[in-house]
Structure 1
Amino acid sequence: MLDRRNLLAGLTTSLALAACGRGGASDTGLLRVGSQKGGTKALMLASGALDGAPYKVEWSEFPAAQNLLEALGSGAVDVGLVGDAPFQFAYQAGSPIKAIGAQTTQERTEGALALIVPKASTIHGPKDLKGKRIATGRGSVGHYLVLRAMAAAGLGAKDVTITFLSPSDARAALQTGAVDGWSTWQPYVAAALAEGNRIAIDGRGFSQGYGFDIAPESAIKAKRPLLDDFLKREGKALQWASTHVDEFAKVLAAETGLPLPIAKEFAGRGARLPVPIDQGVIDRQQVVLDTFRQFGEVKGERSLAAAFAPVG
């Protein structure tokens, strides 16, 4: 049975999909861009990178990568940035999407991806996960972090109870003690730390730090020049954000509702910059895929190389 929070979350996603579905993939004067909370939209607005773009951008915002990937897979959105783990999870499930651009954090800082626990928790590392209940999103970078930590500790699939929740429900579950930890990403990590929680497992030792601009095959076919232009502008925006933390933080705070100090901490946590999708990047994604397969989370056998279609 759906509770009120899940019903509202579903309604919000449905409304977002309806809004971003107004223009079709064949409308070459419109680019429908999906953004996660504190993600691409805040970056592009803050930097002014879209000024003078020869097409209209229609924004839709989503609470997590899973929701954004559903919109991409249905063709309701033309492009959106997600982490490597959710991309591989959705692609192997058969979604008609491909990665057209790549980003990575040049100098990853603590807490970009982390497993958060209450201060008094007995969880201090991967081995302490045995018998615990951890909340995260299915197929998310948080899910991937839990699995990688379990593998490092020699734990099996039945040793940890993973509860799949939206970020808002996971936060509530952690607050009430319904779960022992929450594996999540920024800006949720910063907000959770501000509430008095701590990092039990940091993602730096387990995640490769890649993000990918994803597009449905229909948009790649119909709007490739727009996608190419958008990625170039996004690259300029990332360069701008690396040297304008204060300005970026102000827009982040306005877009996300985060207090300015938390938004500033988030904005200053390592510069993300575009990188070419070369064979090395593709090969490194095998680790992500193998981890999901090790724990039976992914059944698909689609070609890893076929998941990438760089524009430019």
Structure 2
Amino acid sequence: MPPRFSPTASRLRRPLWIGLLAAAAGLLANPAYSAETVRIGYQKSSTLMTLLKTQGTLEKALAKDDIKITWHEFPSGLPLLEALNVGNVDISADVADTVPIFAQAAQAKLTYFAEEAASPQAQAIVVRQDSPVQQLADLKGKKIAVTKAAGSHYLLIAALRKAGLKFSDIQPAYLSPADGRAAFENDKVDAWVTWEPFLTSVQRQLPTRTLADGNGLASYKRYYLTSTRYAQAHPEVLQHVYAQLQASGNWVKGHPGEAARILGPLWGNLDVATVEAANAHRSYRVQPVKREQLAEQQQIADAFFAAGLLPKAVDAGAVEVWQP
């Protein structure tokens, strides 16, 4: 026999259910109770984000809003922004100025939320000390190790252009920084285009010569990005991250030795002097991105398209810019 419905019992239970529903609605409306996780992608050369991760300062700042972090390391900037584009990470640590151009070509909806001021000496084209290559024009026909879409990729294009050469005049070997170093050490390539800390490391450990750095060729800014959807939904997270990045950049410049002792083991057991020298070439000055200052991004996009390295022309200004 089925249980009988009791109007009296229903009326007695109704205040309890109403109270529980109201409490649940209150929990959902109060962000202090809503646990959330932000996924941050970074690479070894993401100095400031690496320090925040190691020192736990960003976790502490976000924990006040009940936000947790998961960290995801990538070998270079291009796969990092690919992961951002498909939604596998929420925030990208700094990538070189060239990388967002390739992401835009892949239809990524990007938002710039911070930049590190220009550091042209933080990347260079190097050859072995005994190499017959004496000047940029001598690179014609040579095999050059470069990481695809990295800042060094644009430096190579700009340097070749200065020497009256086209990108098609050389043989690019698209390699990760680790593989580029191995190829350079074993004379598998004629030159290597790389950035810090890989640059200072090879200069100190092998007999090399520098053909050109970024001075007068490529300013080499590094940008922090997120998806446009995430920027719109979580500006408070970006505010925390921006503030911590600024503080970390100031700390590195004010405590170069201490920063080097932390970063050395994380960068393949580099000695303190090498890390300090590498960091001296980076500005680490975190500042807002200004749309009117994205002009070099368009120059980069046009150079890659002219070299046949982009499938279509890219409007570098077709991005969102978040302001702290």
Q: Distance in 1 between matches of 2:240 and 2:56?
A: 14
Deviation at 1:254, TM superposition (A): 2.5
8 Å contact 2:40–2:71 — kept in the other structure?
yes
Deviation at 1:47, TM superposition (A): 6.5
What amino acid sits opposite 1:222 in the alignment? A
1:12-161 → structure 2 map (5 Å cutoff): 29-39=36-46, 40-45=48-53, 49-50=57-58, 51-53=60-62, 54=64, 55-80=67-92, 81-105=94-118, 108=119, 110=121, 112-161=122-171
Deviation at 1:256, TM superposition (A): 1.7
What amino acid sits opposite 2:301 in the alignment? L
SS in 2 for 1:204: coil
Give the number of equivalent residue pairs.
Answer: 283
Deviation at 1:302, TM superposition (A): 4.2
Q: 1:136 to 1:155 in 2, by over 3 A?
A: same
Deviation at 1:273, TM superposition (A): 0.9
Q: Distance in 1 between matches of 2:225 and 2:306?
A: 25
Q: Distance in 2 between matches of 1:250 and 1:121?
A: 34
Q: 1:305 to 1:109 in 2, by over 3 A?
A: closer
Q: Distance in 2 between matches of 1:45 and 1:158?
A: 41
Q: Describe the superposition over 1:80-137 as per-residue Cα deviations: whole angstroms up to 9, x where unpaired.
A: 21011111122123223332222214xx474x10112111112233212111110111
Greater Cα shift, 36-45 or 129-138: 36-45
Q: Distance in 2 between matches of 1:207 and 1:109?
A: 6
Deviation at 1:222, TM superposition (A): 3.0
TM-score (norm 2): 0.81
SS in 2 for 1:300: coil
TM-score (norm 1): 0.83
Q: Distance in 1 between matches of 2:69 and 2:134?
A: 44
Q: Describe the superposition over 1:180-200 as per-residue Cα deviations: whole angstroms up to 9, x where unpaired.
A: 011111111122112212322
Percent identity between the two aligned chains: 27
What amino acid sits opposite 2:96 in the alignment? G
Deviation at 1:139, TM superposition (A): 1.2
Aligned to 2:277: 265
1:227 and 2:227 are equivalent in the alignment: no
Residue 176 (structure 1) aligned to one of 186, 189, 192: 186
Greater Cα shift, 241-250 or 63-72: 63-72
Aligned to 1:20: none
Greater Cα shift, 277-286 or 225-234: 277-286
Q: Distance in 1 between matches of 2:197 and 2:275?
A: 8
Deviation at 1:141, TM superposition (A): 0.9
SS in 1 for 2:296: helix
Aligned to 1:192: 202
What amino acid sits opposite 1:66 in the alignment? L
Q: Distance in 1 between matches of 2:134 and 2:236?
A: 48
What amino acid sits opposite 2:292 in the alignment? G
8 Å contact 1:32–1:57 — kept in the other structure?
yes
8 Å contact 1:78–1:216 — kept in the other structure?
yes
Greater Cα shift, 80-89 or 117-126: 117-126
1:207-226 → structure 2 map (5 Å cutoff): 207-226=218-237
Q: Distance in 2 between matches of 1:161 and 1:76?
A: 33
SS in 2 for 1:30: strand
What amino acid sits opposite 1:194 in the alignment? R
Q: 1:151 to 1:28 in 2, by over 3 A?
A: farther
Aligned to 1:310: 322
Q: 1:268 to 1:56 in 2, by over 3 A?
A: same
Greater Cα shift, 66-75 or 51-60: 51-60
Name which structure has the greater RCO, CA cutoff 8 Å, separation 6+: 1
Aligned to 2:17: none
8 Å contact 2:290–2:321 — kept in the other structure?
no
8 Å contact 1:93–1:300 — kept in the other structure?
no
What amino acid sits opposite 1:275 in the alignment? Q
Deviation at 1:45, TM superposition (A): 4.4
Aligned to 1:249: 260
Q: Which runs of 4+ in 1 moved over 4 A?
A: 45-49
